[in-house]
Amino acid sequence: MQSMQFTLAELAKLIGAELKGDEGRAITGIAPLQTATSSEISFLHNSRYRKYLSSTKAAAVILSPADAKFCQIDALVVRNPYLAFAKAADLFAYRPKHTTGIHPTAIIGENCQIDPTASIGPYCVIGENVTIQKGCIIGAGCIIGNHVSIDENTQLWPRVTLYYGVKIGARVIIHSGVVIGSDGFGLARDNNQWVKIPQIGSVIIHNDVEIGANTTIDRGALGDTVIEEGVKLDNQIQVAHNVHIGAHTAVAGCVGISGSAQIGRHCMIGGGSCIGGHLKIADQVVIAGMAMITNSIEEAGVYASGTGFLKQRDWQKSAVRFRQLDQLARRIKKIEEKTK
Amino acid sequence: MQSMQFTLAELAKLIGAELKGDEGRAITGIAPLQTATSSEISFLHNSRYRKYLSSTKAAAVILSPADAKFCQIDALVVRNPYLAFAKAADLFAYRPKHTTGIHPTAIIGENCQIDPTASIGPYCVIGENVTIQKGCIIGAGCIIGNHVSIDENTQLWPRVTLYYGVKIGARVIIHSGVVIGSDGFGLARDNNQWVKIPQIGSVIIHNDVEIGANTTIDRGALGDTVIEEGVKLDNQIQVAHNVHIGAHTAVAGCVGISGSAQIGRHCMIGGGSCIGGHLKIADQVVIAGMAMITNSIEEAGVYASGTGFLKQRDWQKSAVRFRQLDQLARRIKKIEEKTK
Amino acid sequence: MQSMQFTLAELAKLIGAELKGDEGRAITGIAPLQTATSSEISFLHNSRYRKYLSSTKAAAVILSPADAKFCQIDALVVRNPYLAFAKAADLFAYRPKHTTGIHPTAIIGENCQIDPTASIGPYCVIGENVTIQKGCIIGAGCIIGNHVSIDENTQLWPRVTLYYGVKIGARVIIHSGVVIGSDGFGLARDNNQWVKIPQIGSVIIHNDVEIGANTTIDRGALGDTVIEEGVKLDNQIQVAHNVHIGAHTAVAGCVGISGSAQIGRHCMIGGGSCIGGHLKIADQVVIAGMAMITNSIEEAGVYASGTGFLKQRDWQKSAVRFRQLDQLARRIKKIEEKTK
């Protein structure tokens, strides 16, 4: 789409690597070891893939000092190659341009404070008393309710909805289809019918959070739903009312987090997991994919649930026996008593 | 955002409670026992939290006659405190104002009947032969297909899509990102390729239904997908073609309901569960979170599946043994025969 | 909404069936055997439902030669009745009309090539250097990024987002709320914080793919996410970066596919399943609903995981014993040694 070019020496400086090789070599892109061409750099962050070093056609490779000694071609040596790769990829990333200012088709309510360096895309609809700080990019077709505030350099991709009163920090990235501040699922019973409990809290998203496509975050019933700084949420995650997610926790796609769950800092939650309501998850907990978390976790560590897959015929046998497990255990006990 | 104020006597009357305390006391909000201030009311709906009564700073507490005798401060005594809380929260809830009439940027097709008391937001696109009854609020950016009908006092939050022919009842609430009437997943095989089966049914949503953000409800293949009155659907639920959900059933987030499943009345389906195709679930069935429902349920009751989580090391041991379950059961049988 | 009418002879010709009955009979619709009226045709694709043949009020029935001999009324006999039903339903399906050309409210960037036979709906926002081929229908409120290409006769329902650089084949159908090309979930660690890895690949969707409502497909980190021809994706599926799905595979709703997973051709993935990252699934693999796929599958066949549901009381007993499984197995071994 556009073409970027750096010399190896420029790249080394920009990603903080030590260059072993041709300073002036022109680099136009980045690619995996197996597919990189002679004008692209590549990277090796896992020594398991060291074998590809001998056959790669890359111009140079980002790698660790330990791997560098196996590298016959130009190298960009760095302590954390994966991080250096992230920095290098950033240099070659395509960035759609955004015109500063408010698109003439955007509809802006009364008493808004929109910084002139912000970009408000076509067909955005922004309510009253909204604050949008400098450098923000609000994509086409975003709908922002009354009393929302968005701190500086935050980007909303197209078609994001923020309900009224939501607060978004600085440098937050929100992908298309995200809904923040929708009503939590609060219901009271009245003679076998459900009465809606108005959700009068809000949602607070702190700085440096990223939120994946079509993820939903409900407003609090009383008090707020809170996503602390540096949290990374993948696509299609459901965050219920009054959930609190601690700083720098990463949550993979399709996770459901039930109401009032409190998740610690620096956790990693695997894709498709569900976390029950009102639970408390400690800091630095790692949860495997598709885990069913039905109790609080008080200790850092790695947790999993479920059963691995089998050929269906075999699975059926195990699944039937699962239903008999208590009875099987009692039979073992009986035999033990008989044979002791 | 705005400030509401009531006296305790007014509140008592509005929520149908008996006031024990200062009739003229001014109340400006509602909050949990632990965080309420002296101008806020709070509520106690579970005697487990009775301990907070002695330390709360709330102006008054909504509670049951049984809990009232432990309350040293002003009280709003009522038989169903949770329901009374719902009513009280409603009094303090923020309501974005909606201008009556059709926003000049909304595009309306031919032969539509839109009640003059309805509010049609900016950048809505409404097809032909659409009926929207009195008091409806259609949020910004909603897309409504031909031949849709929406009964009175229904609210679509921004960015909802209704495909052609969908029928929505009265007092329905539909949150942002919802899609209703998309094609069901109907496929026929033709020489190892899939041929699309046109989905010629529609979707009927009855009165007093609420539908959470980014939930999807497919149109029927033949005949309609039906959501009966008072059903409450949380966020990111997938309702496949020709599903029928009985009145007053509540479904938590991330549930998937496969094609032609029939769910009874007054059921509660836990978050993340999946219900197989063509199954029939009786009335008053409660299904735990993440349950895998692979057969019909003919009897009211509580149902669950899955395995609780473990530390990964321990989980791996159990998961390995799960694969051997049938073999283990046979070994038990053999020993029993040997030792009988 | 509109009314179509065919004679039985016309229908027989259009769906490739042999007519046994009244050639001139007028048919106005299609319905299941139990509800069809005397001006509608019906179909029987599973002999299990043969019993309905005697009581149906349908004008005629699409069925196989084997079932035809049990049919006392007019019949449309065909080798694959389900496929013939798909063709017949297509004849009666409602098709909203789409005006050719670009709606005056659509915003089109520079250097776009939009075929004059394409239909671009109201409030679409299309970036620069976009190509849209003949016969495409782009629904209201779609947002299409720079450098996107869409091949002929593809339909985007309203409110679809395509990020920059995405390539869509011919005859693709994309339902409302879909997001294609959002950033993959790529993170590198830097001192206990997450650094975003720019996602510089794209997404390639081949011909004849269908993508259900609110499904998300992330762009590749390096290299592309690829959906081969004829793949059918249901609603609310999450396809992570660099996933590759082989031709003619069908994926049911709510499935999560983790990064770099490679799924074969002609697979069928059941609803709610999750597939782990970097796994390889062979051709012609069938995966049951809610399966947890944690390893590659190298052989065609049917696979499943999980445990069937139980009444909660019984489930709890089994779930407790699951945690003790390894210990139970050791106890069996011990008894075996004692009693051998």
Question: Using CB atoms, which residue from B96, B121, B312 is nearest to A304?
Answer: B312
Average pLDDT, chain A: 96
Q: What is the pLDDT of residue B190?
A: 93
For C253, phi then psi, to 5°, come to: -60, 150
**How much is the average pLDDT of C265-283?**
98
Q: Is C1 contained in some domain?
A: no
The range of the structural domain enclosing residue B316 comes to 312-340
Asked whether the predicted pLDDT for residue B161 surpasses 90, the reply is: yes
Asked whether the predicted pLDDT for residue B185 surpasses 90, the reply is: yes
User: Which chain C positions have a beta carbon within 8 Å of B254's beta carbon?
Assistant: 254
Any idea what the Cα angle at residue C172 is, between residues C28 and C87, rounded to 5°? 25
**How much is the average pLDDT of B60-84?**
96
Q: How far is B48 from chain A (nearest CA, A)?
A: 14
- Least CA distance to A285: which residue of chain B? B311
pLDDT band at A182 (very low <50, low <70, confident <90, very high): very high
Question: Using CB atoms, which residue from C222, C274, C322 is nearest to A272?
Answer: C274
Contact C43, C30 (CB under 8 A): yes
Question: Which of A92, A118, A142 is at the close of a domain?
Answer: A92
Q: Could you tell me if C130 and C71 lie in one domain?
A: no
> Whole-angstrom Cα distance, residue A156 to residue A172?
8
> Whole-angstrom Cα distance, residue C81 to residue B109?
39
pLDDT band at C241 (very low <50, low <70, confident <90, very high): very high
> Whole-angstrom Cα distance, residue A210 to residue A184?
21
End-to-end C-alpha distance for chain C, whole angstroms: 77
Question: What letters, b where the CB count within 10 A reaches 16 and e where it falls short, cover A78-108?
Answer: bebbbbbbbbbbbbbebebeeeeebbebbbb
Long-range contacts of A64-73 (CB under 8 A, 24+ apart): A68/A20, A71/A44, A73/A21
Q: Could you tell me if A109 and A86 lie in one domain?
A: no
CB atoms within 10 A of CB C38: 11
For every residue of C251-318, DSSP letters joined together read E-TT-EE-TT-EE-TT-EE-TT-EE-TT-EE-TTEEE-TT-EE-S-B-S-EEEE-S---EEHHHHHHH
Q: Could you tell me if A284 and A317 lie in one domain?
A: no
> Whole-angstrom Cα distance, residue B16 to residue B84?
7
> Whole-angstrom Cα distance, residue C214 to residue C218?
13
Q: Which residue has the tokens 């109401």?
A: A259
Q: Is A1 contained in some domain?
A: no
Q: Could you tell me if C176 and C132 lie in one domain?
A: yes
> Whole-angstrom Cα distance, residue C220 to residue C202?
5
Contact C149, C186 (CB under 8 A): no
Asked whether the beta carbons of residue C141 and residue B163 sit closer than 8 angstroms, the reply is no
For A310, phi then psi, to 5°, come to: -140, 165
User: Which chain B positions have a beta carbon within 8 Å of C121's beta carbon?
Assistant: 125
Contact A133, A148 (CB under 8 A): no
CA separation, residue C142 to residues A175, B104, C155, C157 (Å): 15, 20, 11, 8
Q: Is C224 contained in some domain?
A: yes
CA separation, residue C56 to residues C42, C62, C290 (Å): 9, 13, 37
Q: Could you tell me if C51 and C33 lie in one domain?
A: yes
> Whole-angstrom Cα distance, residue B96 to residue B86?
19
Asked whether the predicted pLDDT for residue C3 surpasses 80, the reply is: no
For residue B236, what is the domain's CATH number?
A: 2.160.10.10
Would strands A40-43 and A113-114 be described as parallel, antiparallel, or unpaired?
unpaired
For every residue of C70-96, DSSP letters joined together read T--SEEEE-S-HHHHHHHHHHHH----
User: Which chain B positions have a beta carbon within 8 Å of A127's beta carbon?
Assistant: 96
User: Which of A104-108, A288-292, B268-272, B321-325 shows the lowest mean pLDDT across its residues?
Assistant: B321-325
Q: What is the pLDDT of residue B2?
A: 65
Candidates A232, A252, A207; CA nearest to A86 is A232
Would strands C301-304 and C285-287 be described as parallel, antiparallel, or unpaired?
parallel
User: Which chain C positions have a beta carbon within 8 Å of A232's beta carbon?
Assistant: 185, 187, 194
For residue C50, what is the domain's CATH number?
A: 3.40.1390.10
Asked whether the beta carbons of residue C214 and residue B214 sit closer than 8 angstroms, the reply is yes
CB atoms within 10 A of CB B7: 15
> Whole-angstrom Cα distance, residue C11 to residue C98?
26
Q: What is the pLDDT of residue A57?
A: 97
Burial of A295 (0-12, 13-18, 19+ CB in 10 A): exposed
Tell me the three state secondary structure of residue C119. Answer: strand
User: Which chain C positions have a beta carbon within 8 Å of B190's beta carbon?
Assistant: 80, 83
**Structural domains counted in chain C:** 3
**pLDDT tens readout for residues A4-30:** 899 999 999 999 999 999 999 999 999
Candidates C40, C84, C92; CA nearest to C62 is C84
- Least CA distance to A128: which residue of chain B? B96
Question: Which residues have a Cβ under 8 Å from the Cβ of A337 and sit 6 or more positions away?
Answer: none
Question: Which of C38, C68, C92 is at the close of a domain?
Answer: C92
Question: Which of C92, C127, C157 is at the close of a domain?
Answer: C92
pLDDT band at C116 (very low <50, low <70, confident <90, very high): very high
Q: Hey, what are C10's tokens?
A: 């016309």
List the beta bridge partners of residue C62: C43, C76
For A85, phi then psi, to 5°, come to: -60, -45
Q: What is the pLDDT of residue B308?
A: 86
User: Which chain A positions have a beta carbon within 8 Å of B85's beta carbon?
Assistant: 188, 197
Asked whether the predicted pLDDT for residue C339 surpasses 90, the reply is: no
Q: Could you tell me if B282 and B191 lie in one domain?
A: yes
Q: What is the pLDDT of residue A18?
A: 97
Question: Using CB atoms, which residue from B294, B320, B335 is nearest to C335?
Answer: B335
Q: What is the pLDDT of residue C308?
A: 86
Q: Is A134 contained in some domain?
A: yes
Contact C145, C127 (CB under 8 A): yes
CB atoms within 10 A of CB A216: 30
CB pairs under 8 A between A and C: 234
Q: Could you tell me if C127 and C166 lie in one domain?
A: yes
Q: Provide the percentage of residues in chain B whose pLDDT is more than 70.
A: 99
Candidates C106, C247, C236, C158; CA nearest to A253 is C236
- Least CA distance to A254: which residue of chain B? B254
Q: Is B232 contained in some domain?
A: yes
CB pairs under 8 A between A and B: 234
Asked whether the predicted pLDDT for residue C140 surpasses 70, the reply is: yes
> Whole-angstrom Cα distance, residue B334 to residue C101?
77
Q: What is the pLDDT of residue C230?
A: 98
- Least CA distance to B42: which residue of chain A? A222
Q: What is the pLDDT of residue B252?
A: 98
For every residue of B251-277, DSSP letters joined together read E-TT-EE-TT-EE-TT-EE-TT-EE-T
**pLDDT tens readout for residues C84-105:** 999 999 999 998 999 999 999 9
Q: Could you tell me if A183 and A231 lie in one domain?
A: yes
Contact B185, C232 (CB under 8 A): yes
Any idea what the Cα angle at residue A71 is, between residues A69 and A74, rounded to 5°? 115
Any idea what the Cα angle at residue B56 is, between residues B54 and B58, rounded to 5°? 130
More confident position, C307 or C272: C272
Contact B263, B245 (CB under 8 A): yes
Single pTM value for the model? 0.97
Q: Is B1 contained in some domain?
A: no
Asked whether the beta carbons of residue C200 and residue A328 sit closer than 8 angstroms, the reply is no
CA separation, residue C4 to residues C11, C32, C57, C92 (Å): 12, 18, 20, 6
Q: What is the pLDDT of residue C306?
A: 92
Q: How far is B89 from chain A (nearest CA, A)?
A: 6
Question: At A40, which amino acid appears?
Answer: E
Secondary structure letter of residue C129 according to DSSP: S
Q: Which helix (H) or strand (E) holds B77?
A: strand B74-77
Q: Provide the percentage of residues in chain C whose pLDDT is more than 90.
A: 94
Q: Hey, what are C58's tokens?
A: 């349908």
Chains adjacent to C (≥3 CB pairs closer than 8 angstroms): A, B
Q: Could you tell me if B183 and B131 lie in one domain?
A: yes
For A241, phi then psi, to 5°, come to: -65, 140
Asked whether the beta carbons of residue B86 and residue A195 sit closer than 8 angstroms, the reply is yes
Q: Could you tell me if A216 and A80 lie in one domain?
A: no
Q: What is the pLDDT of residue C214?
A: 98
List the beta bridge partners of residue A302: A286
Q: How far is B266 from chain A (nearest CA, A)?
A: 8
Q: Which residue has the tokens 């077709």?
A: A141
Asked whether the beta carbons of residue C329 and residue B332 sit closer than 8 angstroms, the reply is no
Q: Could you tell me if C113 and C152 lie in one domain?
A: yes
> Which of B234, B255, B323, B340 would best serve as a mutation to test chain A binding (most A beta carbons within 10 A)?
B234
Tell me the three state secondary structure of residue A41. Answer: strand
> Whole-angstrom Cα distance, residue C302 to residue C179?
30
Q: Which residue has the tokens 């609190």?
A: A244
More confident position, C231 or A2: C231
Q: Could you tell me if C244 and C130 lie in one domain?
A: yes
User: Which chain A positions have a beta carbon within 8 Å of B212's beta carbon?
Assistant: 182-183, 185, 216, 218
Question: What letters, b where the CB count within 10 A reaches 16 and e where it falls short, cover C274-309?
Answer: bbbbebebbebbbbbbbbbbbeebeeeeebbbbbbb
Would strands A6-7 and A26-27 be described as parallel, antiparallel, or unpaired?
antiparallel
Candidates A104, A183, A141, C96; CA nearest to B124 is A141
**pLDDT tens readout for residues A64-105:** 999 999 999 999 999 999 999 999 999 999 989 999 999 999
Q: How far is A57 from chain B (nearest CA, A)?
A: 39
Any idea what the Cα angle at residue B314 is, between residues B312 and B315, rounded to 5°? 60
Catalytic positions of B, written as ranges? 241
Q: Is A57 contained in some domain?
A: yes
> Which of C234, C303, C313, C330 would best serve as a mutation to test chain B binding (most B beta carbons within 10 A)?
C234
**How much is the average pLDDT of C132-139?**
98
